[in-house]
Amino acid sequence: MKILRILIPLLFIQTAKAQTVTPNFTQGSMQATTTTTQTITETVDTTKYGGVYNSWSGTNVTPSAAIRETNTTFSIHTAGDQFQLETVARPAGIIELTEIDRTITTNSTTTSLSVFSQ
């Protein structure tokens, strides 16, 4: 009896059938345009540090002490001859700062065309 209760409803089940779909167009096209803007803001800060630097160079000159000494004097070795003297003294600390601020803007446009027919 239980089997009849299961089989009887199966007799009334209808099968599904697909319907035919006919498009309403014969041909066509579609165009799409996409525009993108990208903006990059960039900041670059660079700091260079250096140590104490003292030097001297020259011709026909003689120092009285080491270049690091604050009371060092230079005298001409041979009087009447040409002479040249160059001294460089730099304390420790920041020797160079670089600051760069820039903005980069990129524009991109993409156009696509789709053509279709039946």
Whether 58 is in a domain gets the answer yes
Number of folded domains in the chain? Answer: 1
- φ, ψ for residue 4, nearest 5 deg: -65, -35
Whether 88 is in a domain gets the answer yes
Residue-wise pLDDT for 28-51, tens only, equals: 888 999 999 999 999 999 999 999
pTM as predicted: 0.40
Whether 118 is in a domain gets the answer no
Q: What is the 3-state secondary structure (H, E, C) of 60-117?
A: CEEECCCCCCCCCCEEECCCCCCCEEEEEEECCEEEEEEEEEEEEEEEEEEEEEEEEE
Whether 20 is in a domain gets the answer no
Q: For residue 41, what is the enclosing H or E element?
A: strand 27-50
| CA atoms within a 13 Å half-sphere pointing along the CA-CB vector of 15 | 2
Q: Provide Rg for the chain, Cα atoms.
A: 45
Supply the range of the domain harboring residue 58: 46-99
Whether 66 is in a domain gets the answer yes
Whether 80 is in a domain gets the answer yes
Residue-wise pLDDT for 80-108, tens only, equals: 899 998 988 888 999 999 999 999 999 99
